[in-house]
Amino acid sequence: MTYPRYPKYRESGVEWLGDVPEGWGVKKVGFCCDFYTGWTPPTGDESSYDGDLPWANISDIGPKFLTETAKRISMSAVRKHKIRIAPNGSLLFSFKLSVGQVSIAAVPMYTNEAIAIFQSSANILSRWAYYTFPICIPKNSSENIYGAKMLNQYLIKSAKIVLPPFEEQQAIAAFLDAETARIDTLITEYETLIDLLKEKRQALISHAVTKGLNPDVPMKDSGVEWLGEVPEHWSVKAIKWESTVQRGASPRPIEDPIYFDDEGEYAWVRISDVTASNVYLWETEQRLSHIGEKLSVKLQPGTLFLSIAGSVGKPCITEIKCCIHDGFVWFPAWRKSTKFIYYVFASGQPYKGLGKMGTQLNLNTDTIGSIYIGMPSLEEQCAIAAFLDTETARMDALVQEAEIGINLLRERRTTLISDAVTGKIDVRDWQEMA
């Protein structure tokens, strides 16, 4: 949908802003509105934190309307440190770390000193400032040596904002409230679809690696809790009966540059490389020197390995020559379908009873080797793996389409807000659709 532009524009005198509608002002924050900050009571003073008064930190900021805070403070702390309250309806603006994050206080609350509190006034509507300040104020930020934005109270006061008449602020806020809510609803629908697809994907993998593809075959009790019933013709074996489980190794000290060579034959696999990969490992950020590879464990293309640190329990099949450290294990004598055992681990089901998937899992060579799995014939393993390749690829494509849709909607949302608050579009006559 396209929106009209204002009949007349004038130069704003601000490079990033360009022209603004005639009749709109461009002013420094300090000249058109007041703000103040909260405070943090000493963390060692337990009596300051045993109250029931909401106290917002930067981590709380984000929801449009903030009703709950992770921490609370006592009235004695408020009185002792003279912490000013943020009344209901105030705009809470984070100006440290998450610069430009905003929320509107839905209940009276207190904040720490990293949050600027703006109240609605005769000149400024908080609902309009919610959309405008995150665009305008960070333009006046400085940067630290890492390129991160930095603001302080002086920079906030001297930041320039575009200021339409109050009634136009109301119109802009009403327009953006409705249109962003509509976009957010669509994003939520996409996110729900993605969650459902991912759940279906996991259920499909779990069913295939424990029940097979033929629903009519006789079943038997496996005697293993996570497997349940398996096809009668399958065997049930511990992984260590099919292959030893061996750990990787690391050159020490790992920071020594002697162990690395950008032209080295073997890639050096780190947890971050596996986390960034899907099924296959195609590249890594580092490569080992000849000295480094001799002190690690070499894997050839087509080999499966499993993380036991970081993204614990994630399987990966390397498509390149690589070396793994002791945060991974592999299966040197595995002679069955590599892709089948990949899907067994990818289901997450073998780890039941060992902890939660991820960093809370406690895995080592013994626990991995002692996992019992259902073992069909090699031919059936390959058939199951081929089926899962096709079906998971189809679901992954649907997830990707939904993610693209989300990104487009977020871009649309950002552009719409920017255009409305800077006067690139005229929404004064906008009417909400019934």
The helix or strand, by DSSP H or E, that contains position 21, with its residue range, turns out to be strand 19-21
Query: Among residues 373, 320, 303, 314, which one has the least CA distance to residue 346?
Result: 314
Amino acid type, 99: V
In residues, how long is the chain?
Answer: 434
Q: How confident is the model at residue 46 (pLDDT cuts 50, 70, 90)?
A: confident
Asked if residue 265 has pLDDT above 60, the reply is yes
Same fold, 25-163 and 213-375: yes
Inter-residue contact 214 to 384 (CB < 8 Å)? no
Distances (CA, A) of 422 to 9, 26, 28, 105, 250: 11, 10, 15, 24, 55
Of 324 and 141, the structure prediction assigns the larger pLDDT to 324
Q: How confident is the model at residue 148 (pLDDT cuts 50, 70, 90)?
A: confident
Determine the average pLDDT of the residues in 314-324.
Answer: 96
Taking the C-alpha atoms of residue 149 and residue 160, their distance in angstroms, rounded to an integer, is 17
Domains of the chain: which residue ranges? 25-163, 213-375
Determine the average pLDDT of the residues in 243-258.
Answer: 94
Determine the average pLDDT of the residues in 192-206.
Answer: 97
Inter-residue contact 125 to 170 (CB < 8 Å)? yes
| 213-375: in CATH 3.90.220.20 | yes
Distances (CA, A) of 200 to 45, 187, 231: 49, 20, 22
Determine the average pLDDT of the residues in 362-382.
Answer: 93
Asked if residue 44 has pLDDT above 90, the reply is no
Amino acid type, 367: T
| Architecture, CATH, for domain 25-163 | Alpha-Beta Complex (3.90)
Inter-residue contact 322 to 299 (CB < 8 Å)? yes
For every residue of 138-164, DSSP letters joined together read GGG-EE-TTS-EE--HHHHHH-EEEE-
The helix or strand, by DSSP H or E, that contains position 203, with its residue range, turns out to be helix 166-211
Asked if residue 60 has pLDDT above 60, the reply is yes
